[in-house]
Structure 1
Amino acid sequence: MKARSHLLSAAVVSMLCTAAEAHISVGAPGPAVAGSTQELTFNVGHGCDGADTFRIEVRIPEGVTSVRPLNSEFGKAVVSKDAATNTITSVTWTKPSSADVLPADTHFYKLTLRARLPDQAFTTLFFPTIQHCRAADGTESTVEWIATTTDHNHGQNAGTEPAENPAPALFIVPARTPGWNKYTVDQHVHDMSVFKDAQIVWAGSEAYSPSTYILSLIEKEPNTRVLQAIHPGTEIWVKY
């Protein structure tokens, strides 16, 4: 495999990623690596039908541990815990007072927490989020961003059409080292953009690269097809 792909993997280019973000999305500074501790930022793109957001509640999925939220200009963070396990189940940020609620939906908000991700590569973490808004006349409204699906969905990196009111989602990638990495994929991967920071991906006689130039070489390589999806149990080689 490595000898056959030498020409392809030798070409290194700068790769850009575009992501279709939900109204509330979650992201990390870099790849969300399985088993790593990350700062996760929740991006609140807008309020509710013209009303400003005054409270955001983020529910912590099972397997996410060592949660430590950051206070922000938006407001202080309050954690809720499971009484039996003492684990944090949600984090809520609320504006300090009604005077801090804006008369209209004009601002973009970022709310951050630090947490350890589960050691479950090629899976999607969903963070159901409740958004509370208040209009200038005092009328309050709520939007529940809680829809989750694993059918052809890989979070903010997916590029697939989201469900209505999708929960913020984070796709977990495997730990890696510079050079070749061998993995056995236990999940369906239907959107190859999850390898946006790789040079090339090989699975048998199929290959993929986020680089349009390398992808064009793959298309010309004899007896090689473009890798479009990965199914459970597939062994792959990835060069970072």
Structure 2
Amino acid sequence: MTFPFRAGLAAALSLAAAPALAHAVLAVTQASPNQTYRGVVQIGHGCDGKPTTGLTVTIPDGVVAAKPMPKAGWQLSTVKGAYARPIPSHHGTITEGVKEIAWTGGSLPDDQYDEFVFQARLTDAVAPGGTVYFPVRQQCDGAVVDWREVPAAGQSARDLKSPAPGVRIVAAASTAPAAAAPAGPVKAGDLTIEQPWIRATPGGAKVAGGYLQVTNTGTEPDRLVSASIPLAGRGEVHQMSMDKGVAKMAPVDAGLVIKPGETVVLKPGGYHLMFLDLKGPVKAGDTLEGSLTFARAGTVPVRFAVGAIGASAPEAAGGHQHH
């Protein structure tokens, strides 16, 4: 399934196309329907050696509640429009939202790299097995590249001159009972994920902390960019630090890097997962099906053991998982 953007916009963009020596790709190329998606547009080159001075992302049908991240040194603007159909949400039915995001007024030299970040929600209009495309317009000093081409059935995006960045839609992690599979290390390509667990929450809590250990045995770095469980509206990577005796917590916007040969431990008081917008309590002793999303390894199903409120480490677990 694909979601083409407005024909008028496509025509306007095609008139401005320039030779494409740049690259515009999304860091996370897999996601599930009815989940929050963190879009990270990566720009690795300018246009024919010229610096990038603007970037515009079109939000396609089936993707709602888009919010851009401000970027230092760049001006941010959005264009709103009507959705293809009304979308139910926790705050009522929504019929319109951001359809276009633009960062302008900056200057990214051809020999430097940067990222442009937005957040949006994939609705159930985006079916597993399909791909949703986010057309990107890259403006440079005197040149424009439109990353808007969508492959035809049976065609590879590699065959296109200016392919639109795409996100392949995969089924959400199963909510089957915990007894369906034993807990243990999860293999995902070069990554080994161990001891994913979550602290139990008191009644009425809206957030929960998650923890794990991940080892990269490959030769390329990867990044942990998000997580999900059925009870949470979204899951982010956060870092806790101390500043003059005061604990501060902040999201790791570009994701947590796992370098080749490195083991990264997410634990209380440091890097951790933050599950937000909880729909109910996380109960000690339960096991929750969920997923972790990596920039290279994609979305990886995992099972989170639930420890006690305030626990500092997970309960012992046995068995193995493989992905």
Who is 2:162 aligned against?
165
Aligned equivalents of 2:159 and 2:55: distance in 1?
21
Select which of 119, 139, 143 maps to 1:141.
Answer: 143
Contact 1:74–1:93 (8 Å) recurs in 2: no
**Are 1:49 and 2:44 counterparts?**
no
Q: Do the aligned partners of residues 50 and 34 (structure 1) sit closer, same or farther apart at CA in structure 2, a change above 3 Å counting?
A: same
The answer to which structure has the higher strand fraction is: 2
> Residue by residue, what CA displacement relative to the aligned partner does 1:42-78 show, whole Å, maximum 9, x if unpaired?
0112110010001000001101001111012352431
**Are 1:127 and 2:124 counterparts?**
no
How far is the alpha carbon of 1:163 from its aligned partner?
1.0
What is the root-mean-square deviation in Å for CA atoms of aligned residues? Answer: 3.2
Secondary structure of 1:86's match? strand
Once superposed, which parts of structure 1, at least 4 consecutive aligned residues long, lie more than 6 Å away? Answer: none
The answer to which structure has the higher helix fraction is: 1
How far is the alpha carbon of 1:109 from its aligned partner?
1.5
Who is 2:110 aligned against?
105
With the length of structure 1 as denominator, give the TM-score of the two structures: 0.54
> Residue by residue, what CA displacement relative to the aligned partner does 1:99-145 show, whole Å, maximum 9, x if unpaired?
x536x5121120111110122211101111111001xxxxx111111
Select the structure with the greater relative contact order (CA < 8 A; seq sep ≥ 6): 1
Aligned equivalents of 2:80 and 2:120: distance in 1?
15
Match of 2:26, as an amino acid? Answer: V
> Residue by residue, what CA displacement relative to the aligned partner does 1:67-90 show, whole Å, maximum 9, x if unpaired?
111012352431101168532111
Runs of 5+ consecutive residues of structure 1 not aligned to the other structure = 1-21, 135-139, 181-194, 198-238
Aligned equivalents of 2:54 and 2:119: distance in 1?
19
**Are 1:94 and 2:91 counterparts?**
no
With the length of structure 2 as denominator, give the TM-score of the two structures: 0.41
Q: Give % identity.
A: 28
Q: Do the aligned partners of residues 144 and 176 (structure 1) sit closer, same or farther apart at CA in structure 2, a change above 3 Å counting?
A: same
Who is 2:63 aligned against?
64
Contact 2:67–2:120 (8 Å) recurs in 1: yes
Q: Do the aligned partners of residues 63 and 83 (structure 1) sit closer, same or farther apart at CA in structure 2, a change above 3 Å counting?
A: closer
Match of 2:163, as an amino acid? Answer: P
Aligned equivalents of 2:33 and 2:116: distance in 1?
22
Runs of 5+ consecutive residues of structure 2 not aligned to the other structure = 1-21, 84-94, 178-187, 191-321
